[in-house]
A = this chain, B = another copy of it.
Amino acid sequence: MEILKVSSKSNPSSVAGAIANLIVENNEVAIHAVGAGAINQSIKAIAVAQRFVEQNDIVLVCVPSFIELEIDGEQRTAIKLLIERK
């Protein structure tokens, strides 16, 4: 499955476009986000992506979970957002 790494500086509209394309092609995509700013941008991106895929009669749902990622040699708790069609 394709994984999008979203940061607090990611542009929600760009991420939304990527989500919409991957959902139409693969039916699922995951986001990895570390920190409040990154999670905020991710959720906004999913809300925007919903508007993009509405024309294809798709409803997006996301399943949040905790994951451990190694970033710059350090263990960090991150959020995984699995995005699927309803």
Which residues of A pack against B, CB within 8 Å?
8, 35-37, 39-40, 43-44, 46-47, 50, 59-66, 79, 81, 84, 86
Contact = CB atoms under 8 A, between A and B. Distances in A.
Stoichiometry, as copies per complex, reads 2
Contact of A64 (B8, B37, B46, B79): B46
A40 B36 contact: yes
A13 to B, nearest CB: 13
Contact of A63 (B8, B40, B59): B59
A25 B47 CA distance: 27
A60 to B, nearest CB: 7
A42 B47 CA distance: 15
Given A59-B63, A60-B63, A63-B59, A39 B43 contact: yes
